Amino acid sequence: MGEPGLAVIGAGPAGLAATLAAAARGVHVTLIDSGAQAGGQFYRQPAPGFRARRPQALHHQWRTWERLRDGLDTHVRAGRVRHLTDHHVWFVERRGAAGLTVHALVGPEQEEPAEVHADAVLLATGGHEKVLPFPGWTLPGVVTAGGAQAMLKGGLVLPGRTAVVAGTGPLLLPVATGLAAAGATVAALVDSADPAAFVRRSRALAGRPDKVAEGARYAGLLLRHRVRTLLGHTVVQAHGAERLEAVTIAALDRHGRVRPDTRRRLVCEVLAVGHGMLPHTDLADALGCRIDGTDVYADDEQRTDVPGVWAAGETTGIGGSALSLAEGHIAGRSIAARLAGRVPDPGEWAAAARTREKLRAFFAAVDSAYAPPAHWAEQVTDETVVCRCEEVSAGAVREAVRELGAGDLRTVKLLTRAGMGWCQGRVCGPGVAGVAGCAQAAGRTPFARPVPLGVLARVGETREPQAGESGEPQAGAERTAQERDQ
């Protein structure tokens, strides 16, 4: 088995499934992940030092995780897989016939560089939460829904004793039930989704009875823990002096506007809020991969349109762990065949392909039902900070549009600095776009995370120009149309 083989970026469900499938077929795999342990966000585990006695209590599909974990351990011991933890990938470089190089920063301080050379790369970088601003959302005690879940799974701590879970999307269900099971009093699960939307999509949803049963199980847990579920409602404002003390919620009319006569106040110490998920596309974008809307394009083999680059899991579209596992398995088999010099037979992954198509149809229906209120931005006051890194208010964004003529998100950014901070618009982008009334354009950034100048200098010094190059590194986004068609 000759190196360099395959580099898998991300050790969540998609990355693990691909690693196991490729390694089982003779491919040398380097699994690269920013976490200290495999599992990603979905299978996040408490640190060994916590000595958790029953970590499975915070998870479902635990047997699937055990199978993935044990399979990874077997391949690592056999030398077929190299697992690199605490490696934060910031760029993937195409080097023509020499393959690809993955650039990462190592350790918690992220100052030491590392490189992994590969014949093929799988992007299994997952997704991140979409959070829309509202008055009071910057108060201590307001956290993302996924953040609350991560604290519970990874740190075994409650973010607060009394909680409200709000926003929209299927993630709210495990967050609310997880907090309640861990001992928190969950005052309410507040979801802006219209109940009628699920009725209208009942045929599509019925295509996956296992997912319907999973939703019913969560509904039963909410009833057991006496958690009120308020569909067609939204959080209007968070209140508090030094930290969160209460939230105001209200019902929505059929147009997605707040009904003022329905406002009520709920006392809570923590508000876990989220409005769905967005794929991580930074690495794919820098490589020049095609992005369809918010998703990285992948064909039936999970190949992107960049030679040698595959993508699987949430980066190709949000759809949960089962879909990520199916896509990862397909990608791993496809890569193994391609690296062996043969055209793969789709029959090799027929069962996974059927699962993939059914789950994509199911989650397309789910996504259309779980949508943020159409007029959520009307509740954002001018004083509300919408870009936390640069402390840009909604009023400043509206002034840029109304008084200075900004007609797109890039111009708003230039005039207000919204999105120019640490997150580079990844967090605040949807909120700023909504307040500005602009379409959310895909952000094109050269690197997936901040990189010390010293690291860039060292990479430039050690890099040898490839045939046909001028001697300066070229971002994948700048490659020619001829290269794209290879």
Contact 125, 32 (CB under 8 A): no
Least confident of 112-116, 315-319, 476-480: 476-480
Least confident of 57-66, 211-220, 262-271: 57-66
Give the pLDDT band (50/70/90) at residue 59: low
Q: Estimate the crossing angle of helix 145-155 against helix 172-181, to 10 degrees.
A: 40
| pLDDT mean over 319-324 | 92
Give the pLDDT band (50/70/90) at residue 123: very high
Structure confidence by residue, pLDDT tens digits, 92-111? 998 877 799 999 999 777 88
> What are the Cα distances from residue 210, in Å, to 355, 358, 366?
12, 12, 14
Amino acid identity, position 351? A
Contact 400, 406 (CB under 8 A): yes
Residue 427's pLDDT is 87
SS (H, E, C) 451-479: CCHHHHHHHHHHCCCCCCCCCCCCCHHHC
| pLDDT mean over 263-273 | 96
pLDDT at 297 over 60: yes
pLDDT at 273 over 90: yes
Residue 445's pLDDT is 73
pLDDT at 267 over 50: yes
| pLDDT mean over 134-139 | 96
| pLDDT mean over 342-357 | 92
> What are the Cα distances from residue 454, in Å, to 86, 87, 112, 117?
19, 17, 9, 21
Residue 86's pLDDT is 93
pLDDT at 483 over 70: no
pLDDT at 145 over 70: yes
Residue 476's pLDDT is 41
Residue 47's pLDDT is 67
| pLDDT mean over 319-323 | 91
pLDDT at 209 over 90: no
- Helix then strand then coil, % of the chain, to nearest 5: 40, 20, 40
| pLDDT mean over 398-403 | 94
- Listing from the earlier edge strand, what are the strands of the sheet with 81-84? 81-84, 29-32, 6-9, 120-123, 309-311
Determine how β-strand 127-129 pairs with β-strand 277-279. antiparallel
Give the pLDDT band (50/70/90) at residue 456: confident
Structure confidence by residue, pLDDT tens digits, 415-435? 999 988 888 888 899 999 999
Amino acid identity, position 373? P
Quote the mean pLDDT of the chain.
88
Burial class of residue 212 (count of CB atoms within 10 Å of its CB; 0-12, 13-18, 19+) = middle
Residue 192's pLDDT is 95
Least confident of 49-58, 144-153, 183-192: 49-58
Rg value, the chain, Cα: 23
pLDDT at 183 over 60: yes
pLDDT at 90 over 50: yes
* % of residues, the chain, pLDDT over 90: 63
Residue predicted with more confidence, 249 or 369: 249
Residue 473's pLDDT is 43
Amino acid identity, position 297? Y
Rounded distance between C-alpha atoms, residue 149 and residue 127, angstroms: 15
What letter does residue 446 receive in the DSSP assignment? S
Residue bearing tokens 């936390």? 388
| pLDDT mean over 183-206 | 89
